[in-house]
Chains A and B, each alone.
Chain A
Amino acid sequence: MSGSESQERKQAEAGADWESLAHSAAHAKLGGADESEMLRELLVFLLNGTRYAISVDRVREIVRLRAITPMPHVPEEILGVIPLRGAVVQVVDLRLRLELESTAATRRTRIIILHGDDGRITGILVDAVQEVVRVPEDEIRPAAAGDGEAVAEIFLRGEDFVSILDLDRVMEFHVVQ
């Protein structure tokens, strides 16, 4: 092979390399998973000793417990409002909402700030936030009938089952004025 030809070939190879590098970089940024192997990213938290999870793309941020100002004329699951960098956000007591027993707040109590499709934000009070997991779709099962309306699916993590909450159901409040 002549010098110029090998040069050209090298350049072509380099070009191809660059292309594949760009591809994989983009792919990695987008979450990397191959289409056939769908992964769901979930935030796992603790409520009354039980683990629950919600889809990560609904989570805006997680803040520490702070003074909650109560509001009149709202269901008791709405604890009140907190200020959040220029906005004022209602906080839902998820325990009450899921009809679990109430427990006292601890250092680990957190408020998860969620955002809905319509841009509205809400906070939910949880006992502790644990981790973010990526669960393959085929490991997620529909929940049994007895698990209540708010739990749509479950998956196994280690030894326990984690209940994935249907947030739209959870946030549906029927208010009688």
Chain B
Amino acid sequence: MAARHKRKNQQSKAHREFISESEETLEGMRGGLADLMDQRVDPARDGEIDPDLINTIFRAAHSLKGLAGMFGLDSLGRLAHHLEDVLDGLRLGRNSPNSPAIDLLDEAVRLFASLLPQVGSDDFEENSVSPVDDLIARIEVALEDAVNVPDELAGLDLDPSLLRALTEYEEHRLRENLRRGRHLSLVDTTFEILSFEEGLAEISAAIKEVGEVVSTLPSPGEVPESQIRFSLLAATKISAEELAARLEFSHTSVRSISAPAAVEEAHPSEPDSASSRASEPPEAGLQAGSEPPEAGAASEMDSLRSISATVRVDIKKLDDLMNMVGELSIQRASILDIVQRLSREPSTARIGGELGRVHKLLDRKLNELQSGVLEVRMVPLRQVFEKLSRVVRRLQRDLGKDVAIDFSGSDTELDKLIVEQLVDPLMHVVRNAFDHAIETAEERRNVGKPERGEIFITASQRGNHVVIEVRDDGRGIDFDLVRRVAAERGLVPADAQMTEKETLDLLFEPGFSTRGSISSTSGRGVGMDVVRTNLVAMGGMVEISTTAGLGSCVTLTLPITLAIIQALIVGVENQRFAIPLNSVLETLSVDPGSIQTSEGRELLNLRGEALPLRRLSDEFRLTDTGAARDRQFVVVLGLGDRRTGLLVDTLEGQKDTVIKAIQGPIEQVRGIAGATEDGENGAILVIDVASILDDAARRRDAA
């Protein structure tokens, strides 16, 4: 009974996912098709469609097909497949842009969009089959008037090996450009291996200003070890000589291939490199290429070549890998234990030594493996930022406010798992800023602000943490309003005196919202408390700061990786706890006598500064075994610029741990971030440093 219920839930969740991903893709397709229609009739273009545009639309159709396949939606998949066919025909010159098949593209997209909302309904397949089949039949008829393209690659001054390396698509582009009377040139250029991507991008952009880069191929030939050489096949309206003049890059030469011509040097920035280039022999294999390229020269139609060489990996697999590495680590520790025991006995000392050497190597390799797996999990924040851009664009449409969103630090990398969990909270913060913080155009005008609001999102890495700031230039947070609403909701007594920080903290209370009505974008009151809970669950924290009239800033602090982290194991009252090492600033051994008490709180004099102390046994209300200790330890915790010392009984060393979320009926336990396995001894609870620092700060402010 329960199993069936679960399956049904999963079905509709899957369908919802499909609908949302498809919607986005369809939107992109619509925009692309609109552009295509424009280009079709643009006299300046002479019927030539931008190949990048066709590729983009093609990729969108391909995505749709893949999505439909993944979710088992047969008729939609077939429709997308035919879309692909039409676009492919267009790409390869088999269909002209004026073919009736292109007109049907728009209809197909509209049909797709109209069917989309019904996905997931019981008789979807039945209902969708006939409209889809009808359209497919019409598309097939339209596709039959394909155009056969004569071979024009004969007569090109191009090395046959280079021609063979071209894909069918690139060949088509070559022919197309030839037919339009463009100049074809081979641009030969050399870069340093460490920075070639930028150089390549620059030179491609320069060529694209006056034409098209048909293909970019790494080129064999003699180059120093630190460098790499490329050949770019360019089709331009200007001659090779003019192209050479435009390409002011060092180590670059341009050769015309549409007719045999002399080698032209580009104007390099350093004179000496020019002379060294001039003395090198011209491109190897210069022949009057009269033999036609081999039939089916290119490798099989690699239509997805523009997509980068990456592999999509299920996060669960990465998690499993991480777990395995963690478990290997535990075994390695056991081996070390055995090594130590063997080394102690004279009779086994030698074997112990041998095993010890093996262990050292194993340890090193394991660390490398761990780093490798961790790296695989790291993704740049760029993806999240792109999603946020889309969200803002949609919000602009829905709410009619003009707001610009700027990003910086999109290269900052975070564990994929964290990034996945970050998207929703970040989106909510951005929506809040958009909806609540930024005033309407009129209000802004009245206070002298530019009508267009701004939201800045910056990400930066600080040690073992990543800090993401969402800053807006809106109205700032009205402390009085917050206090009033909180009093109305009974969260605080009506006449409570609160500091600014305490007032801001109220925003994190569940059910808090200063909006009277619930707008469709936010104000449902499930806001900042969920953001905070999510952040804390990840071992991070969130803070708000604000200036009335000028704007607010929400700061999210996150650990870089949730995966294997180093933890300090401490003992308190016969129980062990783990503290993430990235939040530990230092550890000290203290004489109980050196602990001072001031206003009921304990402090330690740390190099002239008062460090507030907190006993772990108090924090967790552990039973005090009453054992007298003549020596205790203080673990100095730090996150951002907060500091607190945690008083513990013993320090038991460091351990590589994989923090697991604690499963069970109690969802969130204050002060505990998760737990880690301790071999046979059960589990060790991992302390949530942020909440301890939070509590300490709160107590301090309350004084």
Q: Is B45 an interface residue (CB 8 A)?
A: no
Q: How far, in whole Å, are A35 and B315 apart by their CA atoms in the complex? A: 41
Q: What chain A residues lie within 8 Å of B619 (beta carbons)?
A: 72
Question: Which of B323, B660, B671, B678 has most A Cβ within 10 Å?
Answer: B660
Cα A78 to Cα B668 in complex, Å, equals 13
Contact of A73 among B669, B678, B682 (CB under 8 A): B669
Give the size range of A's interface with the partner. 20 to 34
The answer to whether residues A72 and B675 also contact, given A81-B662, A171-B665, A173-B666 and a CB cut-off of 8 A, is no
- A73 touching B665, Cβ below 8 Å: no
8 Å CB contacts to B: which residues of A118-177?
A: 120-123, 171-173, 175, 177
Chain B neighbourhood of A68, CB < 8 A: 682
Asked whether any CB of chain A lies closer than 8 Å to the CB of B699, the reply is no
A21 and B660 CA atoms in complex are apart in Å by: 47
User: B664 near A90 (CB under 8 angstroms)?
Assistant: yes
In Å, the complex CA distance between A39 and B670 comes to 43
Instruction: Give the shortest distance, in Å, between A39 (CB) and chain B (any CB).
Output: 12
Contact with B along A55-93 (1 / 0, CB 8 A): 101100000001111111111001001110011111110
Q: Evaluate contact between A122 and B665: CB separation under 8 angstroms.
A: yes
A99 within 8 A of B: no
A117 at interface, CB cutoff 8 A: yes
Known A78-B665, A171-B665: A69·B675 in contact at CB below 8 Å: yes
Q: Are B663 and A89 in contact (CB under 8 A)?
A: yes
The answer to the question of B681 belonging to the interface, with a C-beta cut-off of 8 Å to chain A, is yes
Contacts of A75 in B (CB 8 A): 666
The answer for the CA separation of A81 and B685 in the assembled complex, in Å, is 9
Instruction: From A57, A72, A82, A92, give the contact of B622 (CB < 8 A).
Output: A72
Which residues in A have their C-beta under 8 angstroms from that of B5?
A: 117
> A57-B1, A88-B675, A117-B6 are contacts. A70–B662 as well, Cβ < 8 Å?
no
* Total contacts A-B at CB 8 Å: 98
Residue of B nearest to A72 (CB): B620
- B235 CB to closest chain A CB, in angstroms? 55
A117 to B672, CA, bound (A): 25
Instruction: Decide if A71 touches B669 in the complex (CB within 8 Å).
Output: yes
Is the CB–CB distance between B675 and A81 below 8 Å?
yes
CA distance A57 to B4 in the complex (A): 11
Please tell me if B34 contacts chain A, counting CB pairs below 8 Å: no
Judging by beta carbons under 8 Å apart, are B620 and A66 in contact?
no
CB neighbors of A among B646-662 (8 A): 660-662
B352 interface residue (CB < 8 Å to A): no
Smallest CB separation, B506 vs chain A (Å): 16
Give the contacts of A95-135 with B (CB-CB under 8 A).
117, 120-123
- Closest chain B CB from A130 CB (angstroms): 22
Does the CB pair A117–B664 fall under 8 Å?
A: no
Bound complex: CA A117 to CA B665 (Å): 12
| Distance between Cα atoms of A173 and B6 in the complex (Å) | 23
Complex-state Cα separation, A1 to B579, whole angstroms: 87
C-alpha spacing A72/B5, complex, angstroms: 35
Asked whether A69 lies within 8 Å of B684 as measured between CB atoms, the reply is yes
Interface centre among B575, B682, B684 (most CB of A within 10 A): B682
Report A64 CB to chain B, min CB distance, Å. 13
Q: A69-B575, A88-B661 are in contact. Are A175 and B682 (CB under 8 A)?
A: no
Q: B2, B661, B682: which contacts A67 (Cβ < 8 A)?
A: B682
Query: Do A69 and B663 touch across chains, with their CB atoms under 8 A apart?
Result: no
Q: Are B682 and A121 touching (Cβ within 8 A)? A: no
B309 in the interface (beta carbon within 8 A)? no
Query: Which residues from B are CB-within-8-Å of A78?
Result: 664-666
B681 touches A172 (CB 8 A): no
**Contact A121–B664 (Cβ < 8 Å):** yes
Contacts of A90 in B (CB 8 A): 662-666
Q: Is B248 an interface residue (CB 8 A)?
A: no
B3 interface contact, C-beta 8 A: yes
Residues of A within 8 A of B676 (CB): 88
Residues A88 and B663 in contact, CB atoms below 8 Å apart:
yes
Residues of A within 8 A of B663 (CB): 87-90, 120-122
A117, B1: Cα distance in complex, Å = 11
Inside 8 A of B622's CB, which chain A residues have their CB?
A: 72
Tell me the minimal C-beta distance from B40 to chain A in angstroms: 51
Q: How near does chain A come to B652, taking the closest CB pair, in angstroms?
A: 15
In the complex, chain B residues whose CB is within 8 Å of the CB of A117: 2, 5-6, 9
**Is B262 in the interface zone, CB < 8 Å from A?**
no
Minimum Cβ distance to chain B for residue A142 (Å): 17
Q: How far is the CB of A165 from chain B (nearest CB, A)?
A: 14
CB within 8 Å of A: which B614-628 residues = 619-622
Which residues does chain A contribute within 8 Å of B665, judged by CB atoms?
78, 90, 92, 122, 171-173
Q: Which residues of B contact A73 (CB under 8 A)?
A: 620-621, 669-672
Chain A residues with CB under 8 Å of B670's CB are 73, 177
A121 to chain B: closest residue by CB: B663
For A68, A72, A73, A87, the residue with the greatest tally of chain B CB atoms inside 10 Å of its CB is A72
Contact check, A57 vs B3: say whether CB atoms are below 8 A apart: yes
Q: Which one of B660, B664, B674, B678 lies within 8 Å of A122 (CB-CB)? A: B664
Which A residues lie within 8 Å of B620 (CB)? 72-73
Contact of A83 among B575, B666, B671, B678 (CB under 8 A): B678
Nearest Cβ on chain B to A141's Cβ, whole angstroms: 19
8 interchain residue pairs of minimum CB distance: A90-B664, A72-B620, A67-B682, A88-B675, A83-B677, A88-B660, A122-B664, A69-B683
List, sorted by A's number, 17 A–B pairs whose CB atoms are closer than 8 Å.
Answer: A67-B682, A69-B675, A70-B575, A72-B620, A73-B669, A73-B671, A73-B672, A74-B666, A82-B682, A83-B675, A83-B678, A83-B683, A86-B677, A88-B677, A92-B664, A120-B663, A172-B665
Besides A89-B662, A121-B663, 20 other CB < 8 A contacts? A72-B671, A73-B620, A73-B670, A74-B666, A75-B666, A78-B664, A81-B664, A81-B685, A87-B660, A88-B660, A88-B661, A88-B663, A88-B676, A88-B683, A89-B663, A90-B665, A117-B2, A117-B6, A121-B664, A175-B666
